[in-house]
A and B are shown apart, each in its own frame.
Chain A
Amino acid sequence: MESMLHITTLHYLVLGAALFLLGVIGVLTRRNVVIVLMSIELILNAVNLNLVAFSRMSGGLHGQVFAIFVITDAAAEAAVGLGILIAFFRNKETVNIDEVNLLKW
């Protein structure tokens, strides 16, 4: 119980791992494309948490700068991903990821 009261770096890493697992489950099991994209955002946030926790542990700020770049990339990827979703929805009228199978043999 004492180890649970003193918050160390390991606590943040375990939290990041749990969030990563939730994101992976979301990506692998959901059919709605928008929710899959949101689970990808969960994965990226877990990675950011790890980066900032390690930056705090080591005392330098390189982890925080990396986290800022990851947030920027997540914004770009969300924009392009949602653009693709809109283009796809205009053709097929469904947001079901199982129906994205035009290239299937």
Chain B
Amino acid sequence: MGGSTMDQIVQYIQSYLNTRGLTPGAAGNMFWVLVYIMLVFLGLSVAVIAMNWLERKILAHMQVRLGPMRVGPHGLLQPIADAIKLLLKEDIMPAEADSFVFWMAPLIVVLAAFTVFVVVPFGPTHAITDMNIGILFMLGVSSLSVLGIVMAGWASNSHYPLMGALRSSAQMVSYEVAMGLAVVSAILMTSLNKDGTGTLSMIGIVQAQQAQGVWFVFKFFPLGLIAFFIFAVAMVAETNRAPFDLAEAESELTAGFHTEYSGFRWSLFFLAEYSAMIAVSSIAVTLWLGGWLRPFPNLLTGPTWDQAFSYIPGITFLFFAATCFYNTVRMPKHPLFRIQTIGLAGFGVVLGLIGLMLFISGVSMRIQDIFWFSAKVAGFMYLYIWFRGTFPRYRFDQLMQMGWKVLLPMGLGVLIGTGGMGLRSEIWNQAVLPFGRWIWSLV
């Protein structure tokens, strides 16, 4: 009994490794689905922690100051200190607040922000599952976070959160429309292949970009770029980030809908906000920037170029390790800084080891797709922080005006233009030429 069930278990676990053409969800393999879910959850947590530190440091350097420097070497342990502080804070609930709704609101926002990652494609088989309606699912579930925000504002039983929640949810709903139009024009580009059928599945969209040989941001030259621009602006507004953060900025509405939340509940909102940022950046990367494809997949082809590009993950981590060692050397030579210097050197050694491990060909073959996808999403995170440090805040009526009166007509124009460019030969032969001949015959 023991031997046969053990064999069955091992065979079940290994069965996924044999059907390599599918994601674990599509192959129905529950064990690997759970492993992937754990990996994505872990990766998201590390990404949110790293984002916290990166945001404070990069914003500080843009504002010609240093940011957190005390807690660890160069403030590297600052997010951990913040997390411990938030966990130890007192959990306050307003007196007249509706306790069930107050408790459920951060739960809904976090669930909506994390469920989206079920279909995010890190590679052709590196996704938890591949739904037929992938992009529809992502847009729909990310619109459920609006419900959580409305509930949070209402349950706090106070004026500032209520107004902040109304404004925030009105803004999110308005920019969802513009996002949807930009997404539809990108989906339209996937159908411009031989048999004329497109796909809504996230993996299918990247494979369509691979088959058509061009990233959708460069297709039909200004149209893909304008659609990408509309989506980039709408996604910043969708996640309530600067310059569209009127509803939650500290000087405006005393932190808006999460005013009455403290401690762990506030950190849930914070976690959900960063996860939503990563989620919509993943949508943008998948739809326009070619997902997991390396740069120039069709222009610079061939095994030598593949080999050259496969060295880049290792080189990146070695560059990070070199930066750590350089900063270690520059640390103040004072006995109080000894622990920090050793810590930074140790961190550099870890990064260097990861970099060296990525040069092994077996590892780098599997890491390629995930690395390029994560690198592009990291670029988007930098863009978010850059926007926060650069632009002044939009007033609420300017914000709504831009969402409805500028982005929506632009989105419609891009959609019609993409459709027209995609069918240009049919339109020319079957509509314009007969019309021209009829006009000519009247002369």
Is chain B in direct contact with chain A in the complex (CB below 8 A)?
no
- Residues of A bordering B, CB below 8 Å: none
